[in-house]
Structure 1
Amino acid sequence: METAGKLLLAVCLCVILCSGTAIKFEEQFNVVWSSLNNILSYETSKEVELSLTKTGGANIQSSCFYLYGSFSVKLKLIHGESAGTVTALYLTSFGDNHDEIDFEFLGNETGEPYTLHTNLFVNGIGGREQRIKLWFDPTIDFHTYTIIWNHYQILWLVDYIPIRFYRNLEHVYPGAYPHTRPMVVSASLFDGSGWATQDGRKPVRWEYAPFVIKFKNFAFDACAVLPDGSTPCNNNYRAHWWEGLYYQMLDEGRRDQLMWVVSKWKIYDYCYDNKRYPLAPKEPLECQYNVPWVWE
C-alpha cells in the first residue's frame, strides 16, 4: 500500500507540474544556461522573455519529460533587425542517440521575412530539414506554434495550420521515428551567425542588441514520464485526444492547408536535395510517404 501511495502521489505531482498549467514559471521550467538577466518572467502577464546580447543568450527546458502529446506556445519574435539570430522551440532527449523535434526561427535583415526551419532527429540522426517563409510578420503579435507527437505521426502547426507532417513508419523502416525516448520541451535564443541568415553571410549586428523574444501560454497536454520511467499513459494511450483518428492522418481540409503552405511558402526540403541525396525524392526512404498528395 505504501508503494502504491507513493506512485499515486508521483502521478498527481506530474499532472500538476507537467501539464503546462503550473502557476509559476519556476515550477514548469529549469534554466539550462543564460547570461545575466537574459531570462525574465512576468507573473501578471504570464510572459517569459529571452534575450540575446554579446555576452550570450538563454535556454530553458521543462522540468518534466514527456512521451507523446501536444505541445503549444504563443511566441513573438525579435522586432526589426534580427539577422544571425536563432530562436528555437523544440522537444529533445539527451545522449549520442537523442531524438529531437524542432522549430527554429532564423532571423533576417530589417524588412525581410523570417524563415521557419523544421527538423527531426531520430537515434541521433538528423538531416531532415524543411524551410518555409512565414506568411505573416511574426514580430508584431503573438502566434501559436504547436507540435503534436503521437503513435501515428508528428504534426508541426502554425496558428493551427499544418506546415509539415511525418509518419510513423517503424513497421517499414525501423529506427526512423521517435517512439522510445522521453523528451523535454526546450526554448532558446542564440547567436547563429555562422549559418542562420543567408548561409552565414549576414551575422548578428550587435549594435541592435539586446534581441528579445517573448513566450506566453505554454500548454503541454501530454504524457509525463515518472522518475521510474513509467507513464500514466502506458495502459490506454488511445484515450487521449491527440491520439484520436483526427490526428492519425490529415483530413481533406488540413491536407489542402498543407498543400497551400508547400506550394506558396516552402523554400527548402531535404527530400528534394539532389546534392545531399542523389536519388531524391526516392531517398531517404521516408520521403515518399511524407508528402500531402500521398495518403494511402
Structure 2
Amino acid sequence: MAKLLHQLLSLAAVTVSCLAPAAAAAGFYEKFDVVGSRDHVRVVSDDGKTQQVALTLDRSSGSGFTSKDTYLFGEFSVQMKLVGGNSAGTVTSFYLSSGEGDGHDEIDIEFMGNLSGDPYVMNTNVWANGDGKKEHQFYLWYDPTADYHNYTINWNPKNIIFQVDDVPVRTFKKYNDLAYPQNKPMRLHATLWDGSYWATRHGDVKIDWSGAPFVVSYRGYSANACVNNNPAGGWSSSLCPEGTAAWINRELDGTGLRNVAWAERNYMSYNYCADGWRFPQGFPAECYRK
C-alpha cells in the first residue's frame, strides 16, 4: 500500500475530527500532510476540533492525507461512507505504514470497489519487516455507501485487532519467534485511489471514468496513540497520552473471539491461511498457531 500513494485518488469528501488530546487544538495542516495535487484538496472547515476536507480524484491526479506524527502502538478509528454506485476499480484505505522500504511494517484496512449490486470487500492485511501476504477479506453485511460506519485498528504489543462498528472481525497475534510490527514507528494514511489493476475481480474490471467524480467521506477520526518521532523507534522514545491503559494491553475476551468467529463463518471471502495455491510449500507459521 505504501508504494501506491502516488497513484491516488477520486473525488472524496473527507471529514476528520481529531479527538486525541494532543490533536484537539491543531488545525488540519498542522497535523496532516497532503498526498497528491495540492489543488485537489479543499479544507471545508477547520476550527481546530473538527476538520472537513474535500479530496478529489480525476484522471490527472488524486489525493489523500497522512499524519505528520509517527506512532508506535495506538488505537486509530475513523467513520467512513464509501463510494456509491459503480465503484469498480476504486480503493478506499485507512492504514498505518512505516514507509516503503523492503523491511517496512504496515497495517491495512482497504475497501475494494464493486460493480453496482455486488457486495463490497473489506481487505485487512499486516506487514511485518517486509513480510506481507496476510490478508483476511470480508463481504460487508451492510451497505457501506448508505451511511457512515466506524472502522478501528488497535495495535498494541500483544496483538492487532480490526473492528467494524466496535465489533472485532480479526485479531493478529504476536508470537515471540515470528515477525510482528513492534519497533518501527508508523504514520497514519487515508486515501482513495485508482486500483484498477487489482481491486475488482482481480483487476478484470477497471474504473468507469464516466461515473466520476467518485466520493468517499471520512469523519470522526481519533488516535489514542503513542507518538514516536524517533527514526530509530524504540518504546522508550514514545510519548503516550492519558487513556493508553484502555488499549495498550487489550486482547479479545470470549465475546470478542466469538465475534471474530461469527465474521469468519458468515462473511469471510478470503483467508491466506487457506490459500494452498499461493503457499505451495506450506502456510506461514502463524497459520498453525492458536
TM interval, shorter chain, is 0.7 to 0.9
Matched, 1:93 2:95: no
Indicate if the aligned counterparts of 2:98 and 2:187 stay in contact, CA closer than 8 A: yes
Gaps of 5+ in 1: 1-15
1:36 maps to: 39
Question: 2: distance between equivalents of 1:260 and 1:39?
Answer: 40
Q: Deviations over 1:113-152 (max 9, x none)?
A: 2100111111112111111001111111111110000010
In structure 2, relative to structure 1, the CA distance for the partners of 1:81 and 1:18 (3 Å cut) is farther
Indicate if the aligned counterparts of 2:114 and 2:120 stay in contact, CA closer than 8 A: yes
Matched, 1:285 2:288: no
Question: 1: distance between equivalents of 2:244 and 2:41?
Answer: 40
Question: 2: distance between equivalents of 1:17 and 1:260?
Answer: 31
Q: 1:157 aligns with which of 163, 185, 188?
A: 163
Query: Could you tell me how far 1:227 is from its partner in structure 2?
Result: 4.9
Structure 1 letter corresponding to 2:267: W
Q: CA RMSD in A?
A: 2.5
2:122 maps to: 116
Indicate if the aligned counterparts of 2:71 and 2:229 stay in contact, CA closer than 8 A: no
1:257 maps to: 259
Indicate if the aligned counterparts of 2:41 and 2:53 stay in contact, CA closer than 8 A: no
In structure 2, relative to structure 1, the CA distance for the partners of 1:263 and 1:65 (3 Å cut) is same
Query: Could you tell me how far 1:97 is from its partner in structure 2?
Result: 1.2
SS where residue 216 of structure 1 aligns? strand
1:11 maps to: none
2:80 maps to: 75
Q: 1:232 aligns with which of 223, 228, 239?
A: 239
In structure 2, relative to structure 1, the CA distance for the partners of 1:254 and 1:20 (3 Å cut) is farther
Structure 1 letter corresponding to 2:264: V
Question: 1: distance between equivalents of 2:288 and 2:45?
Answer: 45
TM-score normalised by L of structure 2 = 0.84
In structure 2, relative to structure 1, the CA distance for the partners of 1:114 and 1:40 (3 Å cut) is farther
Structure 2 letter corresponding to 1:267: S
Which stretch has the larger CA shift, 31-40 or 59-68? 31-40
Structure 2 letter corresponding to 1:84: G
SS where residue 46 of structure 1 aligns? strand
Query: Could you tell me how far 1:49 is from its partner in structure 2?
Result: 3.1
Query: Could you tell me how far 1:232 is from its partner in structure 2?
Result: 2.6
In structure 2, relative to structure 1, the CA distance for the partners of 1:104 and 1:39 (3 Å cut) is farther
Which stretch has the larger CA shift, 222-231 or 202-211? 222-231
Matched, 1:188 2:191: yes
Question: 1: distance between equivalents of 2:86 and 2:38?
Answer: 21
Query: Could you tell me how far 1:221 is from its partner in structure 2?
Result: 0.4
Indicate if the aligned counterparts of 2:97 and 2:187 stay in contact, CA closer than 8 A: yes
SS where residue 133 of structure 2 aligns? coil
SS where residue 77 of structure 2 aligns? strand
Q: 1:202 aligns with which of 189, 202, 205?
A: 205
In structure 2, relative to structure 1, the CA distance for the partners of 1:178 and 1:39 (3 Å cut) is farther
Query: Could you tell me how far 1:35 is from its partner in structure 2?
Result: 6.4
Query: Could you tell me how far 1:65 is from its partner in structure 2?
Result: 0.4
Query: Could you tell me how far 1:111 is from its partner in structure 2?
Result: 2.0
1:21 maps to: 24
SS where residue 219 of structure 1 aligns? strand
Same amino acid, percent of matched pairs = 39
Matched, 1:221 2:224: yes
SS where residue 217 of structure 2 aligns? strand
TM-score normalised by L of structure 1 = 0.83
Query: Could you tell me how far 1:41 is from its partner in structure 2?
Result: 4.0
In structure 2, relative to structure 1, the CA distance for the partners of 1:217 and 1:23 (3 Å cut) is farther
Which stretch has the larger CA shift, 80-89 or 249-258? 249-258
Query: Could you tell me how far 1:184 is from its partner in structure 2?
Result: 0.4
- Rg bigger for which structure? 1
Gaps of 5+ in 2: 1-18
Query: Could you tell me how far 1:168 is from its partner in structure 2?
Result: 0.8
Indicate if the aligned counterparts of 1:19 and 1:222 stay in contact, CA closer than 8 A: no
